Amino acid sequence: MGKTKLSAVVKELRKEYGLTQEELAMKAGVGLCFVRNLEQGKASLRMDKVNQLLDLFNFELSPTKKQRTDETSRDL
């Protein structure tokens, strides 16, 4: 598992609010394993659970257009 922007943001917010992973899990209503997987950058997580956790910090997942070069762009 590689670190992602999402995992870095969640970890940074958790530390900013002085929460342990266990405290964050309890406050968000998710499992400790979920918080650990999220912060470690696990590639497959339930989006509803991610948003449930992010809601504590007034954040949410949303679609974002990728930056692509001409070589990687595709026509649909």
Give the residue from 29, 30, 39 showing the smallest Cα distance to 5. Answer: 39
Six token digits for residue 22: 């266990």
pTM for the predicted model, two decimal places = 0.80
**What is the pLDDT, as a whole number, of residue 74?**
62
Tens digits of residue pLDDT in 7-53:
999 999 999 999 999 999 999 999 999 999 999 999 999 999 999 99
Q: How does DSSP assign 14-25, residue by residue?
A: HHHTT--HHHHH
Contact 40, 1 (CB under 8 A): yes
Query: Residue 14: its pLDDT value, please?
Result: 97
| pLDDT score of 64 | 87
